[in-house]
Structure 1
Amino acid sequence: MKLVWSPETASKAYIDTVKSCGLFKQSGQAEFISAMAGGRNAKLIVEAWSSGGAVTTSAGLVIAAQHTSGRHVCVVPDERSKLEYNEAMHAVAGVSSPEVVVGEAEDAMEGLVDVDFVVVDCRRKDWSRVLRFVKLNQRDAVLVCKNASQRAINSGFRWHGALGSATPVVRSAFLPVGKGLDIAYVGNSGGIMDHRKGSSRWIKHIDQQSGEEHVFRR
């Protein structure tokens, strides 16, 4: 199914994430990602969570999935990480824990097909393998690398290389939100960012950590 931007759903996901995570540190990034997933009407959201990391993004994705009637699956490497993740999620008021899959990247992604929204924490040692094995909806999908500025400078990361030649990358962008968001859009529709030919809009986002205002075109 083609992802079509819904401003109303994006706004609802954003506002509800603010309500649930607004008092948590680094919540600005969670609100932004939640609005993206909600606005794209994502039906299968896969998140690769890193042990020791915040769960505000997870909370935002749970909220987005509720608004899109979608499914949010969090992938963790081991049972210890699962326990840590569930305990952290229980501390977020009003947000239930999503489905959790335990295993290495290749095994964890095996049963997840036609994924249309992916969030990978680059602090995971296997973050690049998660991207390699994720089974995307080839018509339209969005991939987000959070904490992207913490990737090794000499890693030489390129979306085309990470996803393979069979996955067409329509557009990518790096945004200075949180510790860096690297976003890619894939699909065979000629550009999922421009689902209305000739149309575009400016989106404003305020980073709650730094107070900086970022304006970009979608």
Structure 2
Amino acid sequence: MKLSWCPERASKAYIDTITYCKLQRESGPAELVSAMAAGWNARLIVETWFSSGAVAVSMGLAVASRHTGGRHVCVVSDEDSRSEYLELLGGVGLSAEVMVGDFDSVVSGLPGIDFMVVDCQRRDFTGMLQMAELGEHGAVLVCKNASVRISSSFRWRSVLDSGSTRRLVRSSFIPVGKGLDIAYVAANGESLRNFKGEKRWIKRLDRHSGEEVIIRK
């Protein structure tokens, strides 16, 4: 089996995220990530967040989890960050499960991740991608702030080849906000030939720049 795409669910999450993020700057990435997580029907959504970071993408993930009925977990480093994060989400009527601690220790209790977002501005973001226990039906991995990431030598294949069950299907860089770098990972035992079927085109208009972005799935 693999993750299955539901365009109707993706569209609803996209629209709802626009509503929640209407007062946020650079909300474009949030809307796109929300639509992707909801469209893939992610049952376990995991993200990392640090104090004073932007929260728009987190809002999008919270909205997506409502549409999928899944679990949205945010990993933070300390209690102050936890309080700040919950206050920011709560201010717009959203919530998430927040876990405090080092990512490597927290992620061991989070098997079966379907959708994960990490921040490229963290020096340890590559290690987080490698340590994540991905779902047996495949997973979508997202690096936000990809245009300003610390590691210029980052390559998805070098990260995913670290595990025999992590097989890269395809990756895409989406130029919205500060950049999203996205990878699709095959389900355990799934033949990569099964991913070469019908493609779908998704269009979105960046409300800030006026640029139309076309994504092929």
Same fold, TM-score > 0.5, yes or no: yes
Given that residues 43 and 68 in structure 1 are in contact (C-alpha distance below 8 angstroms), is that contact kept between their aligned partners in structure 2?
A: yes
Q: CA deviation at 1:207?
A: 2.1
Change (3 A) 1:176 1:10: same
Hey, what does 1:157 align to over in structure 2? 154
Q: Does 2:23 correspond to 1:23? A: yes
Comparing 51-60 with 139-148, greater Cα deviation is found at 51-60
Q: Name the CA shift for 1:193/1:39 in 2 (closer, same or farther; >3 Å).
A: farther
Could you state the TM-score of these two structures normalised by the residue count of structure 2? 0.91
Provide the alpha-carbon RMSD of the alignment: 1.8
Structure 1 residue ranges, 4+ long, deviating more than 3 angstroms after superposition? 190-194
CA contact (8 A) 2:104 2:131 kept: yes
What TM-score do the two structures reach when normalised by structure 1? 0.91
Question: Is the alpha carbon distance of 1:113 and 1:51 closer, same or farther for their aligned partners in structure 2, counting shifts above 3 Å?
Answer: same
Q: How many residues align?
A: 213
Residue of structure 2 equivalent to 1:13? 13
Larger CA deviation: 166-175 vs 119-128: 119-128
Partner of 1:132: 130
Answer whether contact 1:5 1:41 (CA < 8 A) is retained. yes
| Unaligned 5+ runs, structure 1 | none
Establish whether residue 173 from structure 1 lines up as the match of residue 172 from structure 2.
yes
Q: For 2:104, give the aligned amino acid.
A: E
Asked if the contact 2:121–2:149 (Cα under 8 Å) also holds between the matched residues in 1, the reply is yes
Task: Name the CA distance, whole Å, in 2 between partners of 1:199 and 1:58.
Answer: 31
CA apart distance, 1:23: 2.3
Equivalent residues of 1:140, 1:192 under 8 A apart: no
SS of equivalent residue, structure 1 residue 110: helix
Q: Quick one: structure 1 residues 55 and 217, their matched pair in 2 at CA, closer, same or farther if it must change by over 3 Å?
A: same
- Report the residue type matching 2:172 in the other structure: A
Encode CA deviations 1:18-59: one digit per residue, 9 max, x unaligned: 111122111111011000000000000001113221211111
Q: Distance in 2 between matches of 1:131 and 1:193?
A: 24
Distance change (3 Å), C-alpha of 1:200 and 1:20: same
The whole-number CA distance in structure 2 between the counterparts of 1:192 and 1:91 is 45
- Superimposed CA distance per residue, residues 153-182 of structure 1 (whole angstroms, 9 cap, x where no aligned partner): 6x4111122231421111111110110100
Task: Report the equivalent of 1:184.
Answer: 183
Alignment of 1:8-157 (within 5 A): 8-92=8-92, 94-95=93-94, 97-152=95-150, 155-157=152-154
The structural deviation recorded for 1:190 is 3.3
User: Could you tell me which residue of structure 2 aligns to residue 199 of structure 1?
Assistant: 198
- Is the partner of 2:108 in helix, strand or coil? coil
**Sequence identity, in percent?**
54
> Can you list the C-alpha shifts for 1:171-215, whole angstroms capped at 9, x where unaligned?
111110110100000014234994xx6311221122233221111
CA distance in structure 2 between the aligned counterparts of 1:201 and 1:139, rounded to whole angstroms: 20
Q: Deviations over 1:90-115 (max 9, x none)?
A: 222x32x2000111121121100010
Distance 1:14 1:193 in 2: 27
What is the alpha-carbon distance in structure 1 between the residues aligned to residue 213 and residue 12 of structure 2?
21
Displacement, 1:149?
0.9
Gaps of 5+ in 2: none
